[in-house]
Amino acid sequence: MKTSKLFLQWITIVTLLAVNTLNTNAQGPFPSSAMPHVVCQSSTEPYGVTLTTGSTYAWTISDPTAGAKTAGATPNLITVNWSKAGNYTLQVVETNQYGCVGSPVTIDVTVNAVAFITNKVHANICSGDNFEIIPVDGAGTDIIPAGTTYSWSAPVVAGITGAAPGSGATKISGTLTNTTDVPVDVVYTVTPTSGSCTGAAFSVTVKVYPQVKTSSIYHN
């Protein structure tokens, strides 16, 4: 019967449940297998299927190096810490209490890279000058996915004017004025964002030299 066939197909699609209503120990919510699950690198995500009494469940990742699996409170549940960016397939195979093996059920997982940027020190500038830092992917240990943007709040530093916040910028920049007679360090705390993934904050330090204060010309 056509209606029954369509119903069975729908059941297959949603086997990886968004909510496990049969198990009071369920983790979640779980992603649906009907669409790819998009996550950020280094995130830990829960997955599960409906628990059948007496069954065991074998979970595998298409690339075993993509993430670390941890068993859940019941055999039908796991969490995965996704450590490597890329596209993967998470699969589960159920074996019931009689030794019968079910068909594999899968979900596609896209792991987006997260920016990792070490602290930066800009070359010293004179009062009133502009500074600019553009982090480079692969420089040292820096990992900067394409399209990464930067946001920061305005640092409050005695003797410094011109410090301003930034949001969604492709570089860290500004113009700073030192109103004192000594060099002053200005430290920005910058947060990188790559798509929907936010990386750990890093610092940008700029030393601002004082203004030159030449007196009026005098003569005898």
Report the C-alpha gap between 140 and 49 in whole angstroms. Answer: 42
Strand order in the sheet with 77-82: 44-48, 77-82, 67-71
Whole-model pTM: value is 0.71
Report the C-alpha gap between 39 and 86 in whole angstroms. Answer: 10
User: Which helix (H) or strand (E) element contains residue 7?
Assistant: helix 2-13
Q: Which domains does the chain carry?
A: 2-112 (2.60.40.10), 120-209 (2.60.40)
pLDDT (0 to 100) of residue 32: 56
Please report the DSSP string for 27-88 in residue order: --PPPPTTSPEEEETT-EEEEEB---TT-EEEEEESSGGGEEEEE-SSTTEEEEEE-S-EEE
Report the C-alpha gap between 135 and 73 in whole angstroms. Answer: 43
Query: Is residue 11 very low, low, confident or very high in pLDDT (cuts 50, 70, 90)?
Result: very low
What average pLDDT does the chain have?
87
Cβ-count burial 10-21 (b if 16+ within 10 Å, e if not): eeeeebbbeebe
| Model confidence pLDDT, tens digit, residues 70-112 | 999 999 999 999 999 999 999 999 999 999 999 999 999 999 9
